[in-house]
Copies of this chain bind each other. A is one copy, B any other.
Amino acid sequence: MPKQHFLDLFFNPESIAIVGASRNPTSFNFNLVGNLVKLGFSGRIYPVNPSADEILGLRAYADLRGIEGDVDLVVSSVPAAMTLDVVKQCIEKKPKMVVLVTGGFSEIGEQGGKAQDEIAQLFRQGGIRVVGPNTLSPINSSNNLVISFHPVEKLRQGGVAFIFQSGMYEFRLNWLLFDFHLGISKLIDFGNKMDVNEVDALEYLAMDPDTKVIAMHLEVMKGDGKKFMQLLTETSKRKPIVILKSGCTEAGARASASHTGSMIEGSDAVFDTVLRQAGVVRARTVEDFFYFAKSFEFLPLPRGNRIVIASYSGGEGVVATDICQREGFSMARLGQEAIDKAEVVFPTWEIPLNPFDLGVCVQFHQVGEIYDILLEAILGDRGVDCLASQLVPIPSSSVAERLYGSFLAAKEKGKPIVLWRPVMDRVVNTLYEELVERLELIHIPVYPSAARAIQALSVVYRYKIMQEGAD
């Protein structure tokens, strides 16, 4: 039960002390307290700063010892040279957990590694669990707990839990929440993994009822490998797990050693096999990592692999069909009832066939009518498991409104629907972007390309096959 796991107080502290809290709005450390106050974190907040009496309306403390009540979580963001003193304050104050934000330890070489080992030993002796150093953590959307150097305007609750091992997400946080429209349950960043590691996080998130998908960036494994694999295998049957394992080429491993202070073990091919056996989906790039997580969060699992493609040009439909076949889909053959329905938006000389050519339809019918009729015809057909369609440009807000309604109704069929843009980058058209946002908020994803859209379906389809095999 999550309530009993030691990480529960890390994600749900009743009181939190920020050591190194700043009054200067342009400093990174300002946002450590700033985000908690702005977002309305419900626990008690104790800013610690010897030269301030008050920060953002909160009483500031000279050091941890001066705080009257208990402190569940200490977040320390002071220069590396001052960290040892904070450690000593912690040993006296006895918080349940500590996050060491400060960098300059094992990632900078032998001397930093030695300092890190000393600190680790002190915490161990004091019975205090530590996340970091060299990290920004945690985020919990259910209680508005955010430790970040950047101002976060709002959190978006959702089912994806992120596990990071570097600040790779840090400057992407607002983008992730509000441009990518991904809802987060929890986020933990380990940094140098002095103590708490991927096994602890996986164990906790596997049981966390708010977490539906686990996305983990892993450079170096520090925990019990056997237990980790066991947890992956068991958890992936219930919750999809996406892993971005980096530092897996020779050059990448050397690069990793220089920034988290750890060495890689094992070869990439072995790791690949092991992950596949454990039912884990592997990402090879940063964008795959985020896109795969989004696919699992947004899409229901398809019953089968029979797909329909609808594109803005016939040529693009053929390219998409090639991609479908490569990704293991078969082109759905629509029944006569569906064909009869679809025919209404095609010219008399064209038989509606999969892939559907929307470019032909838009010459003779309104965009709103086309999607309304096609969505109903295609998704109502029992021979269709999923749909990937290009979302064409929209002429007016009333058409956007109608489209939104059609997609909302189509979603009720329970089949995965993925869309892709007319052009790769964001269209510079407010009407279109507003519709995209509304569609993504009801979990109909809009991708930059057909390849991305079909890959999203492929990722969830392969998970479903794996799950069935595991039953």
Query: Which A residues contact B (CB, under 8 angstroms)?
Result: 28, 103-104, 107-109, 112, 164-168, 170-172, 175, 179-180, 217, 219, 244, 246-252, 254-256, 258-260, 284-287, 290, 309, 312-319, 321-326, 330-331, 349-351, 353-355, 357, 359-360, 363, 393, 422-428, 448-451
A322 touching B249 by the CB < 8 A rule?
yes
B108 touching A423 by the CB < 8 A rule?
no
- Give the CA-CA distance A312 to B169 in the complex, in Å: 10
A and B contact pairs by CB, cutoff 8 A, 11 listed: A166-B316, A171-B313, A175-B423, A175-B424, A175-B425, A175-B427, A179-B425, A251-B322, A256-B318, A286-B449, A286-B451
B426 touching A426 by the CB < 8 A rule?
yes
Contacts A166-B316, A259-B314 aside, 11 further interface pairs with beta carbons under 8 A come to: A166-B313, A179-B425, A180-B425, A246-B319, A249-B325, A252-B321, A254-B321, A255-B355, A258-B353, A284-B322, A285-B319
A431 to chain B, nearest CB (A): 16
Known contacts A168-B313, A179-B425, A349-B108; A286 and B251 CB within 8 A of each other: no
A152 to chain B, nearest CB (A): 15
Smallest CB-CB separation from A392: which chain B residue? Answer: B171
Residues of B within 8 A of A425 (CB): 175, 179-180, 425-426, 448
A412 to chain B, nearest CB (A): 29
Residues of B within 8 A of A168 (CB): 313, 315-316, 319
Smallest CB-CB separation from A330: which chain B residue? Answer: B251
A309 to chain B, nearest CB (A): 8
B285 touching A450 by the CB < 8 A rule?
yes
Residues of B within 8 A of A165 (CB): 315
Residues of B within 8 A of A315 (CB): 164-168, 217, 219, 246, 259
A299 to chain B, nearest CB (A): 19
Give the 9 A-B residue pairs with the shortest CB-CB distance, closest first.
A166-B315, A259-B314, A249-B325, A252-B322, A168-B315, A175-B423, A285-B451, A255-B321, A252-B321
- Give the CA-CA distance A158 to B315 in the complex, in Å: 25
A422 touching B317 by the CB < 8 A rule?
no
Known contacts A313-B166, A423-B175, A450-B286; A244 and B108 CB within 8 A of each other: no
Checking B285, B287, B312, B318 against A252 with a beta-carbon cut-off of 8 angstroms, the contacting residue is B318
- Give the CA-CA distance A428 to B423 in the complex, in Å: 17
A190 to chain B, nearest CB (A): 11
- Give the CA-CA distance A108 to B331 in the complex, in Å: 20
- Give the CA-CA distance A424 to B217 in the complex, in Å: 17
A88 to chain B, nearest CB (A): 22
A317 to chain B, nearest CB (A): 6
Smallest CB-CB separation from A323: which chain B residue? Answer: B285
Smallest CB-CB separation from A420: which chain B residue? Answer: B286
Smallest CB-CB separation from A174: which chain B residue? Answer: B423
Residues of B within 8 A of A104 (CB): 349
A388 to chain B, nearest CB (A): 13
A325 touching B250 by the CB < 8 A rule?
yes
A349 touching B167 by the CB < 8 A rule?
no
Checking B103, B244, B359, B449 against A319 with a beta-carbon cut-off of 8 angstroms, the contacting residue is B244
A31 to chain B, nearest CB (A): 14
Residues of B within 8 A of A314 (CB): 107, 166-167, 258-260
- Give the CA-CA distance A171 to B423 in the complex, in Å: 8
Residues of B within 8 A of A351 (CB): 109
A49 to chain B, nearest CB (A): 19
Residues of B within 8 A of A360 (CB): 103
Residues of B within 8 A of A450 (CB): 285-286
Residues of B within 8 A of A322 (CB): 246-249, 251-252, 284
